[in-house]
Amino acid sequence: MEKIFLILFIGFSFLSHSQEKESDYFVFHKGGEKHLKPTKYILFNPKIDKKTKSKTEIYFHIKGERFKFSEKFNKIDTCNVKYLKKINLSKVSQLSNNEFEFIKKKLKEDKYWKNKKNQYPMPITKNHNYFKIIVVEKYENKILKYNVDWTYTGIRGLK
Q: What is the pLDDT of residues 110-126, one digit of tens each?
A: 777 666 665 656 656 56
Q: Are 104 and 123 in contact (CB under 8 A)?
A: yes
Phi-psi region of 104 (alpha: psi -120 to 50; beta: other; left: phi over 0): alpha
**135 has a pLDDT exceeding 80:** yes
Tell me how many domains the chain contains. Answer: 1
Q: Are 37 and 24 in contact (CB under 8 A)?
A: yes
On whether residue 32 sits in a domain, the answer given is yes
Q: What is the pLDDT of residues 78-94, one digit of tens each?
A: 999 999 999 999 999 89
On whether residue 3 sits in a domain, the answer given is no
On whether residue 27 sits in a domain, the answer given is yes
On whether residue 1 sits in a domain, the answer given is no
Give, rounded to a whole angstrom, the gap between the first and last alpha carbons of the chain. Answer: 62
On whether residue 142 sits in a domain, the answer given is yes
Mean of per-residue pLDDT scores for the chain: 79
Residue 69, strand partner residues: 58
Q: Tell the burial category of 138 from Cβ atoms under 10 Å away from its Cβ (0-12, 13-18, 19+).
A: middle
On whether residue 83 sits in a domain, the answer given is yes
On whether residue 130 sits in a domain, the answer given is yes
On whether residue 157 sits in a domain, the answer given is no
Pairing assessment for the beta strands 142-152 and 77-80 based on DSSP bridges? antiparallel
Residue range(s) defining the domain that contains residue 59: 22-152
pTM: 0.76
Q: Are 143 and 82 in contact (CB under 8 A)?
A: no
